[in-house]
Chain A
Amino acid sequence: DIQMTQSASSLTASVGDRVTITCRASQSISSYLNWYQQKPGKAPKLLIYTASTLLGGVPSRFSGSGSGTYFSLTISSLQPEDSATYYCQQSYSSPLTFGGGTRVEIK
């Protein structure tokens, strides 16, 4: 199975800060990497697919990059509504696996 590792389980930043969340795969997954946002008590929402493609309707302050084994999700200017847990997920091979999540809190 491919292991997905999000090195930071949580981070705290201020409104307006640039925030980067990283995700590492245990083997190359090309660009088959998706990012989800989950708020407490709610279902996950897809933000970015195939590493860097922003889903329609997602604010442009979100961006994704990377390929192979190293990926990142960047929020260019953190907003209060971005307080959530972010998960990466590989769709390269079964079983599909998620990272452990990074909780973003607003200072």
Chain B
Amino acid sequence: EVQLVESGGGLVQPGGSLRLSCAVSGFSLNRHWMHWVRQAPGKGLVWVAHINNDGSTTNYADSVKGRFTISRDNAKNTLYVQMDSLRVEDTAVYYCAREGTGWSKDYWGQGTLVTVSS
């Protein structure tokens, strides 16, 4: 059974940092591109970043470019996002998602809440 489990969310002050993890099981992580998608409270889905199979290629939404870093450890079956210089507007539930057929996101984690507030 495919599973993605995020962790690392919590309350952080503006300007602070946080690292989220996404532990996967039930499939080989090295065969899939992976994504982070976020959802602010009561709002829609927003793509944040993606990373290719071996981690050599990454891409970011303009809103997080230069502040967030996506990475992966295929040996540990884990995806990460390092979030620095956090802003109040980064407050959201963060989901990791697997790239599937047709560039869809076919499996998602349950999400982890990041709250940026003083």
State the A residues within 8 Å of B (CB): 32, 34, 36, 38, 42-46, 49-50, 53, 55, 87, 89, 91, 94-101
**Interchain CB contact under 8 A, B59 and A53:** no
Within 8 A of A (CB), among B26-63: 35, 37, 44-47, 50, 59, 61-62
Within 8 A of A (CB), among B49-89: 50, 59, 61-62
A8 to B: closest C-beta gap in Å = 14
B1 interface residue, CB < 8 Å from A?
no
Sorted nearest first, the 7 A-B pairs with minimum C-beta distance are A91-B103, A49-B104, A50-B102, A43-B108, A49-B102, A96-B47, A34-B104
A46 partner, pick from B61, B62, B95, B104, beta carbons under 8 A: B104
Which chain B residue has the least Cβ–Cβ distance from A50?
B102
**Interchain CB contact under 8 A, B45 and A98:** yes
**Interchain CB contact under 8 A, A98 and B44:** yes
Which chain B residue has the least Cβ–Cβ distance from A96?
B47
Task: Given A44-B108, A98-B44, verify A32-B62 contact (CB < 8 Å).
Answer: no
Number of residue pairs spanning A and B whose beta carbons lie under 8 angstroms apart: 65
A98 partner, pick from B46, B59, B111, beta carbons under 8 A: B46
A97 to B: closest C-beta gap in Å = 7
Chain B residues, Cβ within 8 Å of A100: 44
Task: Given A43-B109, A44-B95, verify A97-B103 contact (CB < 8 Å).
Answer: no
Q: Give bound CA distance, A8 to B33, whole Å.
A: 32
**Interchain CB contact under 8 A, B109 and A94:** no
Chain A residues, Cβ within 8 Å of B35: 96
Task: Given A43-B108, A95-B61, verify A32-B47 contact (CB < 8 Å).
Answer: no
B101 interface residue, CB < 8 Å from A?
yes
Which chain B residue has the least Cβ–Cβ distance from A92?
B103
B106 partner, pick from A38, A42, A55, A94, beta carbons under 8 A: A55
